Structure formats: structure tokens, C-alpha cells
């Protein structure tokens, strides 16, 4: 008599990459079968270094992520990459181009790359990103790198879901000026001035250093280290890794626990929003059109959705 096949949970806990891929698919789809996997992942003692890589399109985030993988693998670290790609607002499909840029690592069993479509999520992150991250952490990777879409100033949510945030900028491209104006400058724990062989790199570094001193700060303030990189040539990666680890030391256990709590808050908040929007779709296909026509009051509709009550009727206006 043959032995029963191991369950998906058992295979996931044993480090089976196929089971991990299946678990990620279940989590991304929001299926109930993912819940026991998520509970198991979050109770495991292993704690990966979760690094968010953000910056404007064209700054070289994917190339830099590939170079970081090579550096970490040379140190014997197991690395997982979650590359969030923009979804088409028409078809819902995603380009998933980051996998193309990381093909040099495709045969390495110590590297796991997964693409995740935004599915219309704001802030450059999918509503299921936190759950996918949790499963990658529970799989025992030493580093988990989240590479975001790259939508500029709105892309600040990455700080809520990662231990450390790496902001990638380029010289002479206006990125530095944009960073000054946006909240994205405030969330950076480490800054990479990528393509540092281009003219203007020194000026960009000086402007960034000057900008950091303009905000309110004291002796406990963390000033993001600024590192020059040429990702296409794998240059400057060791110093980036060193800067991230230095920030991890600065946070300490209390700081890391606070960031994990912020991630849990973000996850719950995003799932609440997702469920409310689904309830709105189920209850009325023309819900928003009825509000626009004045048949329903927007505040009453919002209250009814939150409280789980039936939607108000089409009563007289006023």
C-alpha cells in the first residue's frame, strides 16, 4: 500500500518550491485554502530581511535588483524577489518584464522570482502583496526583495510593508528634485544614485545630502546613506547591502517589530477595503450611477456598506 501524498502545507514547510509557487497562487487569488499556509508561515521563527526597492520608471530598479541578487548569492544567501508589475487598466494583464531582466538567475535554486500584478491597486502594491511576502518569509529565504511598479510620488506604501526601503534615483534626470517634493524622500532608508557613471552624479548626491538636513531632526534621526551604483556593471552592490544591514542594526528588535505591526495594519486595512468594494459590486451593478443621478446619497451608501445593512431605497431627494 502506497503512502498518502504529502499535503500542500507539509510540502511548503519542507521547502518544496512547487508547493511555494502553489501557495503564492492561492494567496494572490484570495482563496480560503491559503489561510492555513499563511498562519504556518507567520509562526515560523525565521526572519528574512525584507527590502523594498522603489523609484521612478527608468531608474534601473530591475537591473539593480538583479545585481543585488548576484551579490547576496555570492555571500551564500537565499534570495526571493517579488516583482510587482503594473496591470493594464483595460485587460487586467501585466507585462511582467522584471522576470526578463533577471533571467541570469533562473537556474539558481537559491533564487526564487515571482511577479505580481497590481490589479489596479493604488500606491504601486497589490492588496495581496503582504500575504505573498509572508509566504516567502516563511519559506526560509534570507532576503526577500520587493520591487515595486515605479510610479513616482504615489509609491510610498512600500514603507508600510517592508523592513527597509531602498530608493533608486538617477543623476541629471530630475529624480532628485522630484524626491524633494514627494513623500517618497521621507520613506527612504537607503538611497542609491544609480547610473552613477552619467554626468551629474556628484551634484545629485550633494543635493540629496543637503535635502536631508532641511527636515526636522535630532541625534536619533536616521539619515539615509547615499550610495553610488552602476547596476549594469554590478558596481556598488556590496556598499548597498552594508547600508541596509546598518539600518537593520539601527532599528533593532523593537523597530523591526514596529514595522511588522505596521505591515499587519496595512494588510488588514487593504483587505477591509477590498471586501467593501466587493460588497458594493454584489449589491448593485449601477450603484455609483445611482449616486451620480442623485437617487442615493453617497454617505448613506458608505454607511450601509460598512455596517452590512441593505442599501437605502430610491426615496425622494432632499
Per-residue pLDDT of 113-150, as tens digits, reads: 988 875 555 545 766 888 999 999 999 999 999 988 76
> Exposure of 255 by Cβ count < 10 A (0-12 exposed, 13-18 middle, 19+ buried)?
middle
The pLDDT of residue 5 is above 60: no
Q: What is the average pLDDT value for the chain, to the nearest integer?
A: 81
82 in the Ramachandran plot: left (φ > 0), alpha (ψ -120 to 50) or beta?
beta
| Contact present, 142 and 47 (Cβ < 8 Å) | no
| Contact present, 193 and 169 (Cβ < 8 Å) | yes
Alpha carbons 235 and 194: distance in angstroms, whole number: 10
Name the residue among 283, 286, 285 with its Cα closest to residue 306: 283
In the block, residue with C-alpha cell 494583464: 93
Which residues lie below 8 Å from residue 153, measured CB to CB, with a gap of 6+? 178, 181, 182, 183, 184
For 190-231, write each residue's pLDDT tens digit. Answer: 999 999 999 989 998 988 888 887 776 777 888 899 999 999
CA 60, 104, 22, 8 torsion-angle sign: negative
Q: What is the 3-state secondary structure (H, E, C) of 129-195?
A: HHHHHHHHHHCCCCEEEEECCCCHHHCCCHHHHCCEEEEEECCCCCHHHHHHHCCHHHHCCEEEECC
Quote the cell numbers at residue 115: 511577479
For 37-87, write each residue's pLDDT tens digit. Answer: 999 999 886 689 999 998 877 888 989 999 999 999 999 999 999 988 665
Which residues lie below 8 Å from residue 314, measured CB to CB, with a gap of 6+? 290, 295, 296
Alpha carbons 54 and 169: distance in angstroms, whole number: 9
Looking at residue 220, what is its pLDDT? 80
For 220-271, write each residue's pLDDT tens digit. Answer: 888 899 999 999 999 999 999 999 999 999 999 999 999 988 888 888 888 8
End-to-end CA distance of the chain: 74
Considering only residues 163 and 302, tell me which one the structure prediction assigns the higher pLDDT: 163
User: Quick count: other Cβ atoms within 10 Å of Cβ 22?
Assistant: 17
Taking the model in full, what pTM does it have?
0.84
Name the residue among 266, 242, 62, 218 with its Cα closest to residue 149: 62
Alpha carbons 127 and 33: distance in angstroms, whole number: 17
Q: 259-292 in b/e burial notation, b at 16+ Cβ within 10 A?
A: bbeebeebbeebeeeeeeeebbeeeeeebeeebe
Amino acid at each position: 500500500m502506497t503512502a498518502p501524498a504529502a499535503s500542500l502545507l507539509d510540502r511548503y514547510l519542507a521547502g518544496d518550491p512547487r508547493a511555494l509557487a502553489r501557495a503564492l497562487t492561492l494567496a494572490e487569488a484570495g482563496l480560503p485554502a491559503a489561510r492555513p499556509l499563511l498562519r504556518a508561515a507567520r509562526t515560523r521563527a525565521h526572519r528574512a530581511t525584507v527590502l523594498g526597492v522603489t523609484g521612478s520608471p527608468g531608474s534601473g530598479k530591475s537591473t539593480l535588483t538583479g545585481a543585488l541578487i548576484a551579490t547576496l548569492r555570492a555571500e551564500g544567501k537565499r534570495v526571493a524577489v517579488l516583482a510587482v508589475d503594473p496591470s493594464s487598466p483595460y485587460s487586467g494583464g501585466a507585462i511582467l518584464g522584471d522576470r526578463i531582466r533577471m533571467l541570469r538567475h533562473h537556474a539558481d535554486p537559491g533564487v526564487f522570482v515571482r511577479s505580481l500584478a497590481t490589479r489596479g491597486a493604488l500606491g504601486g502594491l497589490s492588496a495581496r502583496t503582504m500575504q505573498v511576502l509572508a509566504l516567502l518569509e516563511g519559506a526560509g529565504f534570507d532576503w526577500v526583495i520587493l520591487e515595486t511598479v515605479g510610479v513616482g510620488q504615489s509609491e510610498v506604501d512600500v514603507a508600510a510593508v517592508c523592513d527597509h526601503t531602498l530608493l533608486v534615483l538617477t543623476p541629471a534626470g530630475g529624480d532628485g528634485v522630484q524626491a524633494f517634493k514627494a513623500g517618497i524622500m521621507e520613506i527612504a532608508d537607503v538611497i542609491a544614485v544609480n547610473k552613477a557613471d552619467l554626468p551629474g552624479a556628484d551634484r545629485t548626491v550633494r543635493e540629496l545630502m543637503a535635502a536631508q538636513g532641511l527636515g526636522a531632526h535630532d541625534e536619533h534621526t536616521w539619515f539615509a546613506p547615499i550610495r553610488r551604483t552602476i547596476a549594469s556593471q554590478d558596481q556598488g552592490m556590496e556598499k548597498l547591502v552594508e547600508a541596509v544591514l546598518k539600518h537593520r542594526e539601527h532599528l533593532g528588535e523593537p523597530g523591526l517589530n514596529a514595522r511588522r505591526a505596521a505591515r499587519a495594519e496595512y494588510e488588514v486595512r487593504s483587505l477591509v477595503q477590498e471586501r467593501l468594494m466587493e460588497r458594493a459590486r454584489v449589491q448593485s451593478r449601477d450603484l455609483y450611477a445611482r449616486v451620480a443621478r442623485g437617487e442615493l446619497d453617497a454617505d448613506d451608501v458608505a454607511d450601509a456598506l460598512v455596517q452590512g445593512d441593505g442599501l437605502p431605497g430610491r426615496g425622494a431627494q432632499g
